[in-house]
């Protein structure tokens, strides 16, 4: 559904001395006889069409993945699987900001962006409903995710028992988006943009995270200990990427004061005991987050502020005791 709203805040081709040249404004649909004569909106509000787009094409993706499994004869009970993936998504569906469309049209002359600008008979973007910038969803830009997943197992006999070691890890190499207006890579970063729950990056993006589990099994009993690790991340505003960075020293100090400039690697310990009660019946009792570790503070640094966008990255409620019965038929 499309609707007309006030979404833009500027018109670089308005006023007696426009910010853009006549050639740049011509790209935006300004006739030569109107250059320098377009009336700006005194309230700084410009028309924008928002909503869906019936002309959208499906996103297209090219996925490359391969893996290797290692199980050497010389090391009985050892297996390692390593999988590489690279996903390139083209014609991604995004809604672009009206001000960005106007700016980038004038700077780049991109025909797709310039085609989203519609001026009325006064060459304005606000005086009549016929003047507006189209900020509906569009096929623009591309996204890429690349990384390596590992799964390593080692089972060692220990007298009348056995010890099992398992490591599941994920190394994120790239989590990037490029719309033509802006581009950034969220690996190792956190913030309002990289943690957007409605984007393809719904939570924090550490380079490395893993779950390591050691289990001792004898007869009907199994005791296991787990180590969950979430890698460190820094605030996106402090990155060296121009479309994420913010050079404001006041903001940098504010982030530091709120303990939100960097989150160190986070570690959790889990314990569990399982017993086979009979044919097809298993009982398990355990404790996750044994040391009752709280999540890091969020941008507001309040006691209950776990930061917008964490979305399950950390244990929000501390120590968790669980019990289950499993029946197999």
Residue 85 lies in a domain: no
Count of domains forming the chain: 2
Residue 225 lies in a domain: yes
What confidence score (pLDDT) does residue 304 get? 40
147 in the same domain as 135: no
What confidence score (pLDDT) does residue 300 get? 47
Structural domain containing residue 27: 1-57+93-139
List beta partners, residue 284. Answer: 274, 324
Tokens of 20: 């853009």
160 in the same domain as 116: no
Last residue of a domain, one of 112, 139, 166: 139
d(CA 9, CA 41): 9
226 touches 211 (CB < 8 A): yes
133 in the same domain as 165: no
313 in the same domain as 182: yes
210 touches 250 (CB < 8 A): no
16 in the same domain as 40: yes
Question: pLDDT tens, position by position, for the chain (329 residues)?
Answer: 788 888 888 899 999 999 899 999 999 999 999 999 999 999 889 999 988 888 888 989 999 999 999 999 999 999 999 999 999 998 888 778 888 889 889 888 888 889 999 999 999 999 999 999 998 887 878 899 999 999 999 999 988 899 999 999 999 999 998 887 778 899 998 876 776 544 544 457 899 999 999 999 999 999 999 999 999 999 888 999 888 888 888 888 888 887 788 889 999 999 999 999 988 899 999 999 999 998 876 654 333 444 433 667 888 778 999 999 999 88
101 in the same domain as 171: no
Residue 84 lies in a domain: no
211 in the same domain as 158: yes
Residue 73 lies in a domain: no
What confidence score (pLDDT) does residue 298 get? 63
Residue 76 lies in a domain: no
What confidence score (pLDDT) does residue 253 get? 86
pTM: 0.75
6 in the same domain as 122: yes
Last residue of a domain, one of 104, 122, 139: 139
**Beta strand ranges found along the chain (DSSP E):** 2-8, 46-51, 60-70, 78-90, 93-95, 117-118, 132-134, 137-139, 142-158, 161-178, 183-185, 189-190, 208-218, 221-230, 233-235, 262-263, 266-278, 281-288, 320-327
305 in the same domain as 190: yes
Residue 45 lies in a domain: yes
165 in the same domain as 135: no
175 in the same domain as 298: yes
265 in the same domain as 133: no
d(CA 215, CA 220): 13
List beta partners, residue 2. Answer: 51
Last residue of a domain, one of 139, 161, 176: 139
């Amino acid at each position: 559904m499309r609707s007309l709203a006030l979404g833009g805040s500027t018109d670089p081709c308005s006023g007696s001395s426009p910010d853009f040249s006549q050639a740049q404004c011509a790209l935006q649909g300004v006739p030569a006889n109107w250059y320098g004569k377009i009336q700006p909106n005194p309230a700084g509000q410009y028309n924008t069409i928002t909503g869906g787009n019936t002309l959208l094409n499906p996103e297209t993706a090219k996925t490359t993945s391969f893996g290797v499994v290692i199980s050497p004869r010389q090391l009985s009970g050892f297996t390692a699987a390593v999988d590489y993936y690279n996903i390139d998504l083209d014609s991604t569906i995004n809604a672009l900001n009206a001000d960005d469309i106007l700016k980038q049209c004038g700077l780049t002359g991109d025909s797709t962006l310039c085609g989203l600008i519609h001026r009325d008979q006064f060459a304005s973007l606000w005086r009549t409903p016929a003047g507006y910038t189209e900020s509906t969803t569009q096929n623009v830009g591309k996204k890429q995710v690349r990384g390596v997943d590992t799964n390593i197992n080692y089972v060692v006999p220990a007298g009348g028992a056995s010890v099992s070691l398992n490591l599941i890890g994920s190394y994120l190499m790239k989590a990037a988006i490029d719309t033509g207006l802006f581009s950034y890579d969220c690996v190792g970063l956190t913030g309002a943009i990289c943690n957007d729950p409605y984007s393809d990056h719904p939570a924090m993006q550490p380079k490395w995270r893993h779950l390591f589990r050691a289990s001792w099994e004898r007869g009907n009993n199994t005791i296991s200990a787990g180590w969950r690790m979430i890698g460190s991340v820094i605030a996106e505003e402090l990155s060296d990427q121009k479309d994420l960075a913010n050079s404001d020293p006041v903001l940098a100090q504010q982030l530091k004061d709120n303990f939100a400039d960097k989150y160190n690697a986070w570690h959790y310990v889990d314990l569990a005991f399982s017993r086979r009660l009979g044919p097809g019946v298993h009982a398990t009792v355990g404790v996750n987050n044994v040391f009752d570790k709280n999540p890091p503070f969020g941008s507001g640094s309040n006691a209950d502020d776990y930061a917008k966008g964490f979305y399950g990255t950390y244990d929000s409620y501390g120590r968790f005791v669980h019990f289950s019965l499993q029946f197999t038929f």
